[in-house]
A and B are shown apart, each in its own frame.
Chain A
Amino acid sequence: MAYSVSISVEAPIENQIQEITYDGQELYQSPLSMSENLARLAQKIDFNKVIPEEVEKENSDSLEKSDDESSSKDSAAFQSSLWPWDSVRNKLRNALTEVCVLSDVLAIAKEKRYMVLDPVPQEGVETKPMVQVYARKKALAGAATVLLTGAERLRTSQTEISRNRTTPDFHIELLRLRQNWRLKKVSNSIIGDLSYRTAGSKYAQTGMFEVTKAEEENPTTGSPPPSPGPGGAPKPSSALRVMVPSELQGVAYIEVLCQKDQEDLCSASINVLGSGPTATNPDIHWQQKLEAAQNVLFCKELFNQLAKEAVQLQAPIPHMVVGNQIMATVLPGIQLIISLCHSTGTDKKPPSQNPPQKSEHDHVLEHSLHQLLREVHHKNTHHPFPHPSSGPIGPSKKRCLAGPMAADRYELMEMMKSQTLLEQIIQQAQHFFMRLRTEYVLDTIAKEVKDPLIVSHWNALNSPTQSCVKINIMTHGYDSVCRTSLIVHVGEKSLKCVCRDGRVMHMSYEPQELRDLIFCQIYQHQITAVQALAKCMGWQFLANSSHLGLGAVEPLGNASSCILASPIGDRLIAVRCEPHMGVQVAIAQSPRKDFFPGQLVKERKWENLGGSFKEVRWDKMEGKNFLNKMELLMASLTSS
């Protein structure tokens, strides 16, 4: 019983078809009333079973009385309880009487003794030819009208098709629309959805739009001058009309601006669609209209997300959200302004002409903002494999492995950390400025300092928040003798410099720190280059100090120095290099020329000890650069 299914059978509500006319129209029977229905059912009663009883009744006279009694009882019963059936009973009774009379007549006629049945002579039907002609004519005329109306209808539909051949068919267009957009039929209207919900968006706003059939083409669209929009040649209006909700109409884009103390440093205006048609007029193709609306939705979601994060984030300098602007401090004195521009009205020309003025900007920040949100969408829909049937879905692959790998609390806490979109975009902006500053420092130093050449190679492969530059310091013409190289990693708010000797230095975002470091490296390079050159020239290298404690205190770094001796040891060269004062070179010679025996030092042999150093007037020396001058100096001192 529990598995029994109740099946209800009922007659179709439709009325029975009475007649189908020649033109296909159907005439329905009006439904039977209650009493008619009853009569119809009563007609179906089989009376054959009653007849033998009646015959019996006639044969047996003795039973007549009792029959009468029973019939009177019956009639009494009828009258008392089933009065509505009285008419039926009367009819039946009349019919029975007639049938009895008929059977009597037939029985008598069969004997042929009292009654004879003769055929009645048939009277021929008068056929009038004129009436027949008229009747046929009328019938033919009826048939002709039916055919003519049918032909007329076919002809009009044919002409309509031929007239509409220039504009595509509604259904073909609908098919094209269906190929690119999600549509569904709700009662009599077609509703579409342009939101990113299926792509993983969790934005609350719906992107419903309605598709309707365009009304009859008004003949004026062809005659006025075609709209001067940048959308190209205006296509003939399509058979589709797309109704987009008012909050998604128009064009939106997200603009990223970097301000330095209220003055524009760089600005990136982002038009996601590129230069799409900005008009809201109904002429534009539905595809462009839907794309624009979808873009509006995307920009709104992006801005909404950023604004939410800006309010929630605890930054040392709080982010501000005012109207359609988010303001965040990237580095001291530099603000990042993200604003949502949404133009709806008919005054669409000004925004469309602004972007060309800001043609300088690069699209990097804009692009990465969009990329970040798309990444969020992607993560919402694409969960890492495998998906265990019993396990939770959603945690990262790392988190899935945390259990079997027995991750400790610290690792689990690290996994929980995630960066918001705003944090990421701020980091990218910070990195952008760090890169800009580093480039500027390196370029200005390369311009200022000519003697050792400073060559910087930027790594082509980098990430949005990290890049790398290799700096080579070398002297022109002596690049094979000595070359100092260092690598600077540009991060988000700091710089990391790896020197040749393996020292790692961390610097803040202040460009002066990098500048000082490079200057120190330049002068260390000079000293090491002199030593390498001395080796080539056969000079001896007596002493070296990279952090000399003598002389005036340097504002940055320490002075470095070295002392070289000629191959036979009779000449000495002392070089002192300091970032602030530049290079000083002094020479001394061993049998000193100005030896005079005095009170304490009397003997002549002491003159071999060498005399005091005399400074060389370096700016008067010949040579293209420092090393060249040193080479010439060494050569001249060797030969003499």
Chain B
Amino acid sequence: MGVTVLQQFPMVENRTGPQTIEFLTKRVVALGAVQTGQFLVDCETYMSVPNLGPQRTVHVVHNSEAPASVFAVLESGQRSVPLVADGLFDLLMQKMATIYSKKQPKIEAKGPRFEIADFCVKLGSVTMGQNFKGVLVEVEYRPCLVASSCWELVREFLQGFLGSVVPATPPPYLQNRMNELYQPIDTVNQYLEQFAQYRKATGVR
């Protein structure tokens, strides 16, 4: 487990999602990466029923990188409460169906996973419900746990195969936590941030 940076790859007019993934796969493999299976990050969103006061939202996220865990982020107003639990949490959510109901379609990112030296690269195509929404690129630099120490390195690596779309600043979520120890929940929060963007956007981004 190391610092993970999540990066959105903008879609081009005349290229479909699978083509984009294939295009990026070729570039990553050209760098010497080896494919090590698939990955999947999915997010279910539950809303509290209206008669319980102010609206609260719970995002339940599964990450194939931590197969034994279930991540949950509770958002009420400006506050967000993260939780990491084991697989039984899913069953608990089913029990609470009267309090939290599913309103929004499931959103997920899945695709191939690569390893290249100390880096782990994941190319995920984002789908909401059945609709393709875009492509997310996740890069993990495993030897390091502090984002500020390795952001430059990761950015350079990202630029190596994504080109100029990589911004000069880290993702907004990471910016406030550049000097803290990186936790698995931070990856999940970055995904939630990106998923929220996809929800707002209409069509492919």
Please measure, in the bound complex, the distance between the C-alpha atom of A405 and the C-alpha atom of B183, giving whole angstroms: 9
Contacting residues, chain B, for A390 (C-beta < 8 A): 88, 91
Does A24 reach chain B (CB closer than 8 Å)?
no
Given contacts A408-B66, A412-B68, contact A403 B1 (CB under 8 A): no
Does A228 reach chain B (CB closer than 8 Å)?
no
**CB pair B87 A406 closer than 8 Å:** no
B residues 69-108 with Cβ under 8 Å of A?
A: 69-71, 84-88, 91
Please measure, in the bound complex, the distance between the C-alpha atom of A405 and the C-alpha atom of B83, giving whole angstroms: 10
Q: Which of B64, B65, B87, B91 contacts A403 (CB 8 A)?
A: B87
Nearest A residue to B183 by beta-carbon distance?
Answer: A406
Contacting residues, chain A, for B88 (C-beta < 8 A): 388, 390-391
Contacting residues, chain A, for B85 (C-beta < 8 A): 403-404
A residues 25-39 with Cβ under 8 Å of B?
A: none
**CB pair A405 B84 closer than 8 Å:** yes
Contacting residues, chain A, for B87 (C-beta < 8 A): 403
Does A88 reach chain B (CB closer than 8 Å)?
no
- Scoring B64, B68, B71 by chain A CB atoms within 10 A of each residue's CB, the highest score goes to B68
Nearest A residue to B70 by beta-carbon distance?
Answer: A403
Does B184 reach chain A (CB closer than 8 Å)?
yes
Does B67 reach chain A (CB closer than 8 Å)?
yes
Given contacts A390-B88, A391-B88, contact A406 B67 (CB under 8 A): no
**CB pair B67 A409 closer than 8 Å:** yes
Please measure, in the bound complex, the distance between the C-alpha atom of A407 and the C-alpha atom of B71, giving whole angstroms: 12
**CB pair A402 B69 closer than 8 Å:** yes
Contacting residues, chain A, for B71 (C-beta < 8 A): 406
Contacting residues, chain B, for A404 (C-beta < 8 A): 69, 84-86
Distance between A407 CB and nearest chain B CB, rounded to angstroms: 6
Please measure, in the bound complex, the distance between the C-alpha atom of A407 and the C-alpha atom of B1, giving whole angstroms: 9
Chain B proximity mask over A355-381: 1 for CB below 8 Å, otherwise 0:
000000000000000000000000000
Does B33 reach chain A (CB closer than 8 Å)?
no
Does B49 reach chain A (CB closer than 8 Å)?
no
**CB pair A408 B1 closer than 8 Å:** yes
A residues 389-422 with Cβ under 8 Å of B?
A: 390-391, 399-400, 402-409, 412
Contacting residues, chain B, for A406 (C-beta < 8 A): 66, 69, 71, 84, 183-185
Contacting residues, chain A, for B86 (C-beta < 8 A): 391, 400, 402-404
**CB pair B84 A412 closer than 8 Å:** no
Report, as a range, how many residues of chain B touch the other chain.
10 to 19
Distance between B188 CB and nearest chain A CB, rounded to angstroms: 9
**CB pair B65 A409 closer than 8 Å:** yes
Distance between A400 CB and nearest chain B CB, rounded to angstroms: 8
B residues 44-78 with Cβ under 8 Å of A?
A: 64-71
Contacting residues, chain A, for B91 (C-beta < 8 A): 390
B residues 136-182 with Cβ under 8 Å of A?
A: none
Please measure, in the bound complex, the distance between the C-alpha atom of A400 and the C-alpha atom of B85, giving whole angstroms: 10
Q: Which of A399, A400, A407 contacts B69 (CB 8 A)?
A: A407
Please measure, in the bound complex, the distance between the C-alpha atom of A407 and the C-alpha atom of B66, giving whole angstroms: 6
Please measure, in the bound complex, the distance between the C-alpha atom of A404 and the C-alpha atom of B85, giving whole angstroms: 4
Distance between B152 CB and nearest chain A CB, rounded to angstroms: 24
Contacting residues, chain B, for A391 (C-beta < 8 A): 86, 88
Please measure, in the bound complex, the distance between the C-alpha atom of A409 and the C-alpha atom of B40, giving whole angstroms: 13
Contacting residues, chain B, for A403 (C-beta < 8 A): 68-70, 84-87
Please measure, in the bound complex, the distance between the C-alpha atom of A193 and the C-alpha atom of B156, giving whole angstroms: 71
Please measure, in the bound complex, the distance between the C-alpha atom of A407 and the C-alpha atom of B86, giving whole angstroms: 10
Please measure, in the bound complex, the distance between the C-alpha atom of A408 and the C-alpha atom of B66, giving whole angstroms: 4
Given contacts A403-B87, A404-B85, A406-B84, contact A412 B185 (CB under 8 A): no
Please measure, in the bound complex, the distance between the C-alpha atom of A409 and the C-alpha atom of B91, giving whole angstroms: 22
Chain B proximity mask over A251-269: 1 for CB below 8 Å, otherwise 0:
0000000000000000000
Nearest B residue to A405 by beta-carbon distance?
Answer: B84
Nearest B residue to A411 by beta-carbon distance?
Answer: B1
Distance between B39 CB and nearest chain A CB, rounded to angstroms: 10
Nearest A residue to B188 by beta-carbon distance?
Answer: A406
Please measure, in the bound complex, the distance between the C-alpha atom of A390 and the C-alpha atom of B68, giving whole angstroms: 16
Please measure, in the bound complex, the distance between the C-alpha atom of A112 and the C-alpha atom of B85, giving whole angstroms: 114
Chain A proximity mask over B21-47: 1 for CB below 8 Å, otherwise 0:
000000000000000000000000000
Distance between A389 CB and nearest chain B CB, rounded to angstroms: 11
Distance between A34 CB and nearest chain B CB, rounded to angstroms: 67
Distance between B153 CB and nearest chain A CB, rounded to angstroms: 21
**CB pair B67 A412 closer than 8 Å:** yes
Nearest A residue to B187 by beta-carbon distance?
Answer: A406
Please measure, in the bound complex, the distance between the C-alpha atom of A358 and the C-alpha atom of B185, giving whole angstroms: 61
Distance between A412 CB and nearest chain B CB, rounded to angstroms: 6
Contacting residues, chain B, for A400 (C-beta < 8 A): 86
Contacting residues, chain A, for B67 (C-beta < 8 A): 409, 412
Nearest A residue to B37 by beta-carbon distance?
Answer: A409
Please measure, in the bound complex, the distance between the C-alpha atom of A122 and the C-alpha atom of B184, giving whole angstroms: 121
Chain B proximity mask over A449-475: 1 for CB below 8 Å, otherwise 0:
000000000000000000000000000
Contacting residues, chain A, for B184 (C-beta < 8 A): 406, 408
Please measure, in the bound complex, the distance between the C-alpha atom of A403 and the C-alpha atom of B72, giving whole angstroms: 12
Please measure, in the bound complex, the distance between the C-alpha atom of A404 and the C-alpha atom of B184, giving whole angstroms: 10
Please measure, in the bound complex, the distance between the C-alpha atom of A388 and the C-alpha atom of B68, giving whole angstroms: 16
Please measure, in the bound complex, the distance between the C-alpha atom of A104 and the C-alpha atom of B43, giving whole angstroms: 111
Nearest B residue to A404 by beta-carbon distance?
Answer: B84
Q: Which of B65, B84, B185 contacts A408 (CB 8 A)?
A: B65
Please measure, in the bound complex, the distance between the C-alpha atom of A404 and the C-alpha atom of B71, giving whole angstroms: 9
Contacting residues, chain A, for B69 (C-beta < 8 A): 402-407
- Scoring A399, A407, A408, A412 by chain B CB atoms within 10 A of each residue's CB, the highest score goes to A408
Please measure, in the bound complex, the distance between the C-alpha atom of A408 and the C-alpha atom of B65, giving whole angstroms: 5
Distance between B88 CB and nearest chain A CB, rounded to angstroms: 6
Please measure, in the bound complex, the distance between the C-alpha atom of A399 and the C-alpha atom of B87, giving whole angstroms: 12
Please measure, in the bound complex, the distance between the C-alpha atom of A336 and the C-alpha atom of B185, giving whole angstroms: 49
Please measure, in the bound complex, the distance between the C-alpha atom of A399 and the C-alpha atom of B91, giving whole angstroms: 19
Please measure, in the bound complex, the distance between the C-alpha atom of A408 and the C-alpha atom of B120, giving whole angstroms: 13
Please measure, in the bound complex, the distance between the C-alpha atom of A298 and the C-alpha atom of B65, giving whole angstroms: 43
Distance between B41 CB and nearest chain A CB, rounded to angstroms: 13
Please measure, in the bound complex, the distance between the C-alpha atom of A457 and the C-alpha atom of B70, giving whole angstroms: 51
Distance between A268 CB and nearest chain B CB, rounded to angstroms: 42
Contacting residues, chain B, for A402 (C-beta < 8 A): 68-69, 86
Please measure, in the bound complex, the distance between the C-alpha atom of A591 and the C-alpha atom of B84, giving whole angstroms: 83
- Scoring B1, B86, B183 by chain A CB atoms within 10 A of each residue's CB, the highest score goes to B86
- Scoring A402, A403, A405, A409 by chain B CB atoms within 10 A of each residue's CB, the highest score goes to A403
Nearest A residue to B83 by beta-carbon distance?
Answer: A404
Distance between B15 CB and nearest chain A CB, rounded to angstroms: 32
Contacting residues, chain B, for A407 (C-beta < 8 A): 66, 68-69
Please measure, in the bound complex, the distance between the C-alpha atom of A408 and the C-alpha atom of B184, giving whole angstroms: 9
Contacting residues, chain B, for A388 (C-beta < 8 A): 88
Which residues of B come within 8 Å of A, CB atoms?
Answer: 1, 64-71, 84-88, 91, 183-185
12 CB < 8 A contacts A-B: A388-B88, A391-B86, A402-B68, A403-B68, A405-B84, A406-B69, A406-B84, A407-B69, A408-B65, A408-B184, A409-B66, A409-B67
Q: A390-B91, A404-B85, A406-B184 are in contact. List 16 more A-B contacts (CB 8 A).
A: A391-B88, A402-B68, A403-B68, A403-B69, A403-B70, A403-B84, A403-B87, A404-B86, A405-B69, A406-B71, A406-B183, A407-B69, A408-B66, A408-B184, A409-B65, A409-B67
Q: What are the 4 tightest A-B residue pairs by CB atom distance, in nearest-first order?
A: A403-B86, A406-B184, A406-B66, A406-B69
